[in-house]
């Protein structure tokens, strides 16, 4: 059916004496629009202020982790890649922030979906001394739930699990302090 539409577009544009480069651009644009509109699934973006739907997964110690169980706590959800330089560079920042505030209810969870197997993810976690839950999500189910298309992505949630920020790339301690510091005062 896509080919029928393209054939009709090409015939129509041919009657209008359209130059080949405009015709090619128009055809490519139409194909991309058609393909993106047929991707299926949830395409509604999550926006700052939205309440994040809960997820569950299995951590590297084979324990079930659920976001719902963290209700009432500020949470950082980090979608990370094993070969990502940002992820390796800022994991010590997350480790320190977690150690500093976990007694006040702060939670972090790392989620990986690009490892070949759980052993690769365990190696990453071990090498960087990650001391909070790490989930291996080989099918990318959790990332799909939140429409995560680019990684690393850090989602910062309030205790009510409203999205405070979605940060691409590396994250600094100053950013974490600015977004979450108010929950740890007093």
Contacts of 153 (CB under 8 A, 6+ apart): 78, 79, 166, 167, 168
Q: What is the mean pLDDT of the chain?
A: 82
- Report, as an integer, the average pLDDT of 126-147: 94
pLDDT at 8 over 80: no
Give pLDDT, residue 43.
54
For the chain, percent of residues with pLDDT exceeding 90: 67
What is the dotted CATH code of the domain comprising 56-183?
3.40.30.10
- Our measurement of the distance from residue 18's CA atom to the centroid of its chain's CA atoms, rounded to an integer in Å, reads 42
Answer yes or no: are the C-beta atoms of 24 and 13 closer than 8 Å.
no
For the chain, percent of residues with pLDDT exceeding 70: 76
Give the separation between CA 15 and CA 9, rounded to whole angstroms.
Answer: 10
- pTM summary value: 0.76
Give the separation between CA 158 and CA 169, rounded to whole angstroms.
Answer: 20
Closest to 123 (Cα-Cα) out of 112, 108, 138: 112
pLDDT confidence of 186, banded at 50, 70, 90?
low
DSSP-based three-state secondary structure for 182: helix
Closest to 134 (Cα-Cα) out of 113, 112, 153, 110: 110
- Our measurement of the distance from residue 89's CA atom to the centroid of its chain's CA atoms, rounded to an integer in Å, reads 18
Q: Burial letters for 127-148: b for 16+ Cβ neighbours within 10 Å, e otherwise?
A: ebebebbbbbbeeeebbebbeb
pLDDT confidence of 54, banded at 50, 70, 90?
very high
Give pLDDT, residue 100.
96
Give pLDDT, residue 45.
81
DSSP-based three-state secondary structure for 75: strand
pLDDT digits 0-9 by tens, 72-98: 999 999 999 999 998 899 999 999 999
pLDDT at 58 over 80: yes
Give pLDDT, residue 57.
94
pLDDT confidence of 117, banded at 50, 70, 90?
very high
DSSP-based three-state secondary structure for 17: coil
- Report, as an integer, the average pLDDT of 33-37: 36
Give pLDDT, residue 161.
97
- Report, as an integer, the average pLDDT of 140-150: 92
Q: Report domain extents, the chain.
A: 2-37, 56-183
pLDDT digits 0-9 by tens, 104-116: 999 999 999 988 8
């Amino acid at each position: 059916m896509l080919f029928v539409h393209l054939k009709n577009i090409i015939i129509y544009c041919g009657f209008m004496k359209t130059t080949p480069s405009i015709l090619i651009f128009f055809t490519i644009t139409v194909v991309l629009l058609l393909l993106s509109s047929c991707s299926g699934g949830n395409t509604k973006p999550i926006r700052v202020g939205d309440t994040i739907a809960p997820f569950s997964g299995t951590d590297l110690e084979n324990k079930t982790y659920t976001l719902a169980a963290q209700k009432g706590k500020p949470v950082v959800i980090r979608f990370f890649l094993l070969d990502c330089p940002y992820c390796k560079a800022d994991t010590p920042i997350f480790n320190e922030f977690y150690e500093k505030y976990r007694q006040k209810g702060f939670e972090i969870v790392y989620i990986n979906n690009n490892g070949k197997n759980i052993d690769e993810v365990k190696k990453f976690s071990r090498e960087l001394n990650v001391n909070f839950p790490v989930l291996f999500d080989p099918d990318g189910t959790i990332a799909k739930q939140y429409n995560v298309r680019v990684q690393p992505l850090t989602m910062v949630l309030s205790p009510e699990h409203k999205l405070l920020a979605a940060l691409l790339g590396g994250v600094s301690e100053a950013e974490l302090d600015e977004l979450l510091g108010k929950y740890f005062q007093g």
